[in-house]
Amino acid sequence: MGAGWNGFLVCCGICGDSCNDGHCALLEIPEQVKKSDAETKLVICLAMVEAVNLKKTYLLGKVPVNAIRGVNLNVASGDFLAILGPSGSGKSTLLNLIGALDKPTEGKLLIEGVDISTLNDNQLTDIRRRVGFVFQFFNLIPRFTARENVELSMSIADHDKTERRKRAEDLLETVGLKDRMNHKPAELSGGEQQRVAIARALANNPRFLLMDEPTGNIDSKTANEIMSLVRGLNQEKGVTTIMVTHDQRLAAQSRRTILMLDGLIVQETVN
Amino acid sequence: MKTRDILAYSFSAIKLRKLRAGLTTLGVVIGIAAIVALLSISQGLQSTITAQLERGLATDTLLVTAGGGGGAGMGFGGGGDSGFKLFVSDVQTIKGIQNVEVAAAIIQRVGNLTVGGRSEISTIVGVDFAEYQDIYGETFVADRGTIPLDSRNDSVVLGRRVIDPRLNGTMLADANDPISIVWINATSRPPTAVTLPTNITGILKQIGSFGIGGPSDSGVYIPIAQAQALFATNECDLIIVKLRSSDQAVIDDVTNAIKSAFNGEVSAISATAVLNIISNVFSIIELFLGGIAAISLVVAGVGIMNIMIVSLMERTREIGILKALGTKSRTVLLIFLCEAVIIGFMGGAIGVGLGWVLANVVALVFRGGGGFMGNQAARGTFEMTITPVLTPTVFLGALAFGVGVSVIFAIYPAWRASKLKPVDALRYE
């Protein structure tokens, strides 16, 4: 609990002792719901991701590669973070760790307060369902139509067929693909495929959206459209977004940018 | 993922590679079809033979042959190592045993028969007509001419097929027509041919069935005394004993009495025992045939495994996507196993159908007789109609076996798919 706070402060409790790190929001409690005069402010922990001395080493053939060498990072709810860096700087590895696709070698990585390094395979799966992943190469299933691709992530999360269909159609409408939803990926342009991927990523109401070079494989005009779509989702729907890119101009469209080099965060800028 | 969604997902993966899935399924189809065809034919054959034996071998008869040392079944063909011989006169000893109604000695030789201008190899059976008719009253019945019960030495009674090989009414000869039987005595030095020219006395009505010792459509019957003279022997090959009752106790009593009367040098086998032996033999044959067919299914299983591993490589990225979207490892395993179940089930279902058709085609060819089996063989054996039998056990068993083999061979690829790490799988090119 944050220093200097006493009385009836309420915290979501997921970040434990690290509430004083400054990523908690203070809210005035309205008079009507106050239980006593001492209870004036409410602390809400907004930490979505918290990395403490995070390290990841993997083997490339037989050579160990220190992809991440001690990263400390906080991402608050509703944030839009861009991870910038040259290839090999460990930015994708960091994103994969946040998305629970991989486990850290050392250090702590809290996703909504849960340290994923302690989780087993099944529990990691549950985390993945709360994350929306968007990849550089779209990674759609070629034999499924746009709608079926969006539905797939919901069927994985055990949603009902009718519910799935309705939501897939709504989401595709949101990303501007209402009249293309019965097309297969091969019949869609790169930009359209990435929109499908974004719709798929949003299907299970994820707590955050992770994007690995989302515009790396599409032309700049379409890339701008995708970026404004993502910004809109972040601003209007409050979807916490973490985007990996090596494009300075794209990174500048985020709220906060960290620069990674050789597995370490070397610079942090607020845009 | 819900079961229905897993099934739908697996099915969509199979549909994508129709030719490959089709060929994989074909492997299962062939394996299952072979099993079903072989089993239903052999079961059909067994029930046909059993039914015919039940008609041909009355359950109240015993067959006595020389050579008691061995167990039941060894007795056929006679001639044990002890050199013990059964003589025609031994019938009297057996007739004296309690509960024996009648006994008939049989001498059998292979001879050459010339009738209606045709010469054929036939089995010549010497038997007392009156006693034989006592035992086989339903089958040893004349259709044309008569069966003289006074054992006139020159009488010859023919089975239907001897005179009408195709059983279509085209008779080579009729009662009272001349016939000549030639037997080569190979024991004399030099071998001599013994000829018996005579006339056909009677022709049996068509029997259809066959039985060891009982009358047959392809038999040539002469009186026992004539046979003794012709073949220059007093030994007999077989004594058929008719009991007063078909109770198991009576059968056992008489069997033991006969054995002790000949100091254990003979074997007496009841029709029931013969049926049991045949049933046992068929069980072994079925197991053997089923085993051979099962090998082809195992080959199909290896094919499934092969295809699944290829499919796994091709779909590594897809598995990565599924896992990144939050699919549990167990679900990935199930998706792959489900594909095997679908292939196994389709292959099994088609295989059972195809096997059944195959069995019926084979049965039809058999029934067509002559053309397939060849004239000689058809004449030499008996008329046989196989109706393939597809029991629910074979049906369900084959289906389950098809699915089971598919699943067993898919376990390894499916397990490997489920163990893929999402990061590695997504990076896979």
**What tens-digit pLDDT sequence spans chain B (429 residues)?**
889 999 999 999 999 889 999 999 999 999 999 999 988 888 888 888 777 777 666 678 888 888 764 444 444 444 445 678 888 888 888 888 888 999 999 998 888 888 877 888 888 999 998 888 888 888 888 888 888 887 666 788 988 888 887 777 777 888 888 888 888 888 777 888 888 888 888 888 887 766 666 788 888 999 988 888 888 888 888 898 988 887 888 888 888 898 888 888 888 888 777 778 888 888 898 889 888 888 888 888 898 899 889 989 999 999 999 999 999 999 999 999 999 999 999 999 999 999 999 999 988 887 755 443 333 333 444 456 778 888 888 899 999 999 999 999 999 999 999 999 999 898 887
pLDDT at A86 over 60: yes
In this complex, is the C-beta atom of B272 within 8 Å of any C-beta atom belonging to chain A?
Answer: no
Q: Would you call A156 and B318 a contact, using CB atoms and an 8 Å cutoff?
A: no
Q: Which residue is closest to A138 within chain B, CA to CA? A: B321
Q: How much of chain A, in percent, has pLDDT values that exceed 70?
A: 83
- What pLDDT is recorded for position A166? 94
Tell which B residues from 335 to 394 touch A, by Cβ distance under 8 Å. Answer: none
Distance from CA of residue B421 to its chain's centroid?
A: 56
Residue of B107, B88, B69 whose CA lies nearest to B259: B69
> In B, which residues are within 8 Å of A152 by CB distance?
325
pLDDT at A3 over 50: no
In terms of C-beta density within 10 A (0-12 exposed, 13-18 middle, 19 or more buried), how is residue A164 classed? buried
In terms of C-beta density within 10 A (0-12 exposed, 13-18 middle, 19 or more buried), how is residue A36 classed? exposed
Q: Would you call B422 and A102 a contact, using CB atoms and an 8 Å cutoff?
A: yes
Residue A256 and residue A157 in one domain: yes
Binning pLDDT at 50, 70 and 90, where does residue A170 land? very high
CB pairs under 8 A between A and B: 61
- What pLDDT is recorded for position B418? 94
Residue of B88, B57, B62, B59 whose CA lies nearest to B258: B62
Residue A172 and residue A256 in one domain: yes
Kindly state whether residue A93 falls inside one of the protein's structural domains.
yes
- What pLDDT is recorded for position B380? 40
> In A, which residues are within 8 Å of B10 by CB distance?
none
- What pLDDT is recorded for position A55? 95
User: What would the DSSP string read from start to end of B250-312?
Assistant: HHHHHHHHHHHHTTT-EEEEEHHHHHHHHHHHHHHHHHHHHHHHHHHHHHHHHHHHHHHHHHH
> In A, which residues are within 8 Å of B323 by CB distance?
101, 125, 128
In this complex, is the C-beta atom of B5 within 8 Å of any C-beta atom belonging to chain A?
Answer: yes
3-state class percentages of chain B: helix first, strand second, coil last, to nearest 5: 55, 15, 30
- What pLDDT is recorded for position A262? 93
In this complex, is the C-beta atom of B172 within 8 Å of any C-beta atom belonging to chain A?
Answer: no
A142-152 pLDDT tens trace = 999 999 999 99
Please report the sign of the dihedral spanned by the C-alpha atoms of residue B61, residue B67, residue B68, residue B74: negative
Residue A130 and residue A261 in one domain: yes
Q: Output the domain CATH number for residue A194.
A: 3.40.50.300
pLDDT at A29 over 70: no
Q: Which residue is closest to A132 within chain B, CA to CA? A: B325
Gap between the terminal Cα atoms of chain A = 29
What is the distance between the alpha carbons of residues B48 and B44, in angstroms, rounded to a whole number?
Answer: 6
Residue A10 structural domain: 1-45
Kindly state whether residue A215 falls inside one of the protein's structural domains.
yes
- What pLDDT is recorded for position B209? 61
Residue A139 and residue A222 in one domain: yes
Reported residue count of chain A is 271
- What pLDDT is recorded for position A56? 94
Residue A171 and residue A234 in one domain: yes
What is the distance between the alpha carbons of residues A260 and B27, in angstroms, rounded to a whole number?
Answer: 55
- What pLDDT is recorded for position A215? 86
In this complex, is the C-beta atom of B311 within 8 Å of any C-beta atom belonging to chain A?
Answer: no
| Extents of the domains making up chain B | 3-54+276-427, 106-229
Residue A122 and residue A256 in one domain: yes
Residue A252 and residue A147 in one domain: yes
Q: Would you call B12 and A143 a contact, using CB atoms and an 8 Å cutoff?
A: yes
In this complex, is the C-beta atom of B16 within 8 Å of any C-beta atom belonging to chain A?
Answer: yes
- What pLDDT is recorded for position A46? 61
Binning pLDDT at 50, 70 and 90, where does residue A165 land? very high
Residue A92 and residue A132 in one domain: yes
From chain A, which residues contact B within 8 Å (Cβ)? 96, 99, 101-102, 121-122, 125-126, 128-129, 133, 135, 139-141, 143-144, 152-153, 155-158, 200, 204
> In B, which residues are within 8 Å of A200 by CB distance?
325
Q: Would you call B12 and A204 a contact, using CB atoms and an 8 Å cutoff?
A: no
Residue A12 and residue A128 in one domain: no
Please give the ipTM for the structure prediction: 0.84
Kindly state whether residue A62 falls inside one of the protein's structural domains.
no
Residue A252 and residue A205 in one domain: yes
- What pLDDT is recorded for position B414? 95
Residue A141 and residue A39 in one domain: no
Number of domains present in the structure of chain A = 2
- What pLDDT is recorded for position A34? 61
B239: left (phi over 0), alpha (psi -120 to 50) or beta: beta
Q: Would you call A122 and B328 a contact, using CB atoms and an 8 Å cutoff?
A: yes
Q: Which residue is closest to B12 within chain A, CA to CA? A: A143
Give the largest CA-CA distance in chain A: 64
Residue of B385, B355, B378, B285 whose CA lies nearest to B47: B385
- What pLDDT is recorded for position B73? 42
B61-91 pLDDT tens trace = 888 888 764 444 444 444 445 678 888 888 8
Q: Would you call B325 and A99 a contact, using CB atoms and an 8 Å cutoff?
A: no
